[in-house]
Amino acid sequence: MQYNTTQPGKFLQLERVAIGVLPDGVVRGRKNPAFFGFAARLRNARHAMGLTLDSTAVHVSDGKTVFLLEAGRHVPRLDTVEKIALALCLTPGFLAFGLSTESHETPAATEGLRALGVAARVQEARIAQGLSVLALAKAAGLSHTAVGNVERGTMPSLETAERLAVALAVSPAWLAFGEGPRALPPRRRTTRAAASASP
């Protein structure tokens, strides 16, 4: 309980104070998922380019969709992220997960979106790891139906794609959009590796 200084003798329940402060799924001591920064990256990029909600939503339904995404009220599907990234001249991997990858070129009309290849990349990575659909689902904290649906072509959300990438130990940008290296580079170089790299 917390003491209420405006009304002596009254206490506030911490649960009431904490409601709405932290998004669901945040766990103390663990790194937050990369997709949590999507709303801020979207808002910052849109403001930096001086675009309105409607002009950003040129490839998606309308400005209300972008508004709700910026407010963090929805976790978008991969194809929606890629369409918005195209409007903002950003790589989908950066917008979705904050990962810098190669420069993004607009796909040709015949190529379609890069996110459409997620099913094949999930299946390829799963088979390379020697995992069954059920084993991957368990490792990712998803149902085996959800994993099977992704492999059959259902477009996953950013959250689902990142869970699968973590379980498969691959880059979420590669899994979702085929961008950048398949594996994430190590976060920190060890002192031994840094010493051997220096002349």
Domain ranges of the chain: 34-97, 114-177
Q: In this structure, are residues 78 and 96 in contact, taking their beta carbons and an 8 Å threshold?
A: yes
Q: Which two tokens stand for residue 6?
A: 């405006």
**What pTM was estimated for this model as a whole?**
0.74
**24 band by pLDDT with thresholds 50, 70 and 90:** low
- Interaxial angle between packed helices 158-168 and 144-151, expressed in degrees from 0 to 180 and rounded to the nearest 10: 100
Percent of the chain surpassing pLDDT 90: 50
Q: What is the mean pLDDT of the chain?
A: 79
Least confident window among 49-58, 122-131, 175-184: 49-58
**60 band by pLDDT with thresholds 50, 70 and 90:** confident
Least confident window among 8-22, 102-116, 139-153, 168-182: 8-22
Are domains 34-97 and 114-177 of this chain identical in fold? yes
Q: In this structure, are residues 165 and 156 in contact, taking their beta carbons and an 8 Å threshold?
A: no
Which is more confident, 100 or 75? Answer: 75
Q: How far apart are CA 189 and CA 192, in angstroms?
A: 8
Q: In this structure, are residues 87 and 57 in contact, taking their beta carbons and an 8 Å threshold?
A: yes
CATH architecture assigned to 34-97? Orthogonal Bundle (1.10)
Least confident window among 36-45, 62-71, 119-128: 62-71
Q: Residue 57 corresponds to which amino acid?
A: A
Which is more confident, 158 or 55? Answer: 158
CATH class held by domain 114-177: mainly alpha
The pLDDT tens digits of the residues spanning 176-191 come to 999 988 987 665 444 4
Percent of the chain surpassing pLDDT 70: 72
* pLDDT of 99: 86
